[in-house]
Amino acid sequence: MNYVVMDLEWNQSTNGQDEAPGLPFEIIEIGAIKLNQKGVMVSEFNRLVKPAVYHEMHQITSRLIHLQMQELQRGDPFPEVMDSFLEWCGEQEYLFCTWGSSDLTELQRNMRHYNMTPLSEGPLAFLDVQKLFSLAFEDGKSRRSLETAVDFLKMEKDIPFHRAFGDAYYTAKLLTHILCEKPEVLDKISFDVFRPPVSREREVKVQFDHYFKYISREFADKAEALADREVMSSKCYLCHRNLKKKLKWFTLNGKHYYCAAYCEKHGYFKNKIRLRRSEAGKVFVVKTTRPITPEEMQALKARSEHAREMHRRRNRNHKKKKDFD
């Protein structure tokens, strides 16, 4: 299997007023490096896109990437560049790799704008090299800039940053380094959810070594999502049993929900639900389940009590206000 390490540059509306519906960012450059299974660079891709939506350069874009509109006129229309990019990616199986998690979403958004055949029917698996770098060399949570990561590993900076090809090149070098030094973190696959699972059968369920991830299909709204049995269930992903909850679902902000359950064999588990809005305006759920210590269980319990107290207070104020009215 090959790795297609990709980076995009994009432009946006200069005033925010005349933003094209469904296309906040217009791709103006695609750069990529293909690595073989061993992490050896085998091929490169570098193309400019001729803008068709935003004809003025946003100041962030011009300051950051030093690309001018005149130069972009040498580019080709997006659908042409995209077709040759996919042809370059090849017939052999490959995995997209990017620095951070936004490139594949914007790529698919641009493809949709031109009614191109979707890259995938549902979530798209990829490697987020920014995340892998953190897992390999830091705490797994921090997110460094590309240049900081290159400096951290004392790599040679032989071409400029902030252009698609340059950034793809450095991302590829970092990935190669991770492949050699910390190959175990390569299991930490990410999913781009520009397209959520299309049906219950195609929902994503993946077990990692320290947690389990579930990406649901779309629901009409939050209430429907939170009424779904699979969404609200708490299972032990190690012995696959349905567990009785020790802490009922609670939320502090209405977006993230938590609950905890206990498996007699494997101990406490924390479930976290994130409600996400899909491009179609519907709701889907990303749920993670991970084992926690009894101490973490106590901390979670305190948070749930805090949430309940806040909820009670809100209701009381609401009632007071009503009485007053």
Contact flag: residue 290 with Zn ion (CB under 5 A): no
Distance from C-alpha of 122 to C-alpha of 230, rounded to nearest angstrom: 19
Contact flag: residue 266 with Zn ion (CB under 5 A): yes
CA atoms within 13 A on the CB side of 137: 18
267-277 vs 204-207, strand pairing mode:
unpaired
Contact flag: residue 243 with Zn ion (CB under 5 A): no
94-98 vs 2-11, strand pairing mode:
parallel
- Which residue in the block uniquely carries the two structure tokens 């951070």? 100
Pairs from 252-260 (Cβ < 8 Å, separation ≥ 24)? 252/303, 252/306, 252/307, 252/310, 257/226, 258/300, 258/303, 258/304, 259/234, 260/234, 260/292, 260/297, 260/300, 260/301
Which residue lies nearer to Zn ion by CB, 41 or 238? 238
Distance from C-alpha of 39 to C-alpha of 228, rounded to nearest angstrom: 42
Contact flag: residue 246 with Zn ion (CB under 5 A): no
CB within 8 Å of 140: residues ≥ 6 apart: 131, 134
* The binder of Zn ion chosen from 82, 168, 236, 285 (CB under 5 A): 236
Token couple for 139:
């705490």
124-128 vs 94-98, strand pairing mode:
parallel
Q: Which stretch binds Zn ion (CB under 5 A): 74-82, 149-157, 239-247, 268-276?
A: 239-247
Least separation in angstroms between CB 187 and Zn ion? 21
* The binder of Zn ion chosen from 154, 244, 265, 321 (CB under 5 A): 265
Least separation in angstroms between CB 230 and Zn ion? 18
* The binder of Zn ion chosen from 125, 238, 292, 307 (CB under 5 A): 238
Which residue lies nearer to Zn ion by CB, 207 or 317? 207
Least separation in angstroms between CB 236 and Zn ion? 3
Interhelix angle 164-181/129-137, rounded to 10 degrees, is 40
Contact flag: residue 260 with Zn ion (CB under 5 A): no
* The binder of Zn ion chosen from 23, 149, 263, 283 (CB under 5 A): 263
Q: Which stretch binds Zn ion (CB under 5 A): 75-83, 149-157, 164-172, 231-239?
A: 231-239
Which residue lies nearer to Zn ion by CB, 95 or 238? 238
- Which residue in the block uniquely carries the two structure tokens 């973190």? 185
Q: Which stretch binds Zn ion (CB under 5 A): 69-77, 203-211, 258-266, 300-308?
A: 258-266
Least separation in angstroms between CB 7 and Zn ion? 42
Which residue lies nearer to Zn ion by CB, 239 or 280? 239
Q: How many residues bind Zn ion (CB under 5 A)?
A: 6
- Which residue in the block uniquely carries the two structure tokens 């390999």? 136
Contact flag: residue 321 with Zn ion (CB under 5 A): no
Q: What is the DSSP letter of 54?
A: -
Closest CB to Zn ion: residue number: 236
* Footprint on this chain of Zn ion (rule: CB under 5 A): 236, 238-239, 263, 265-266
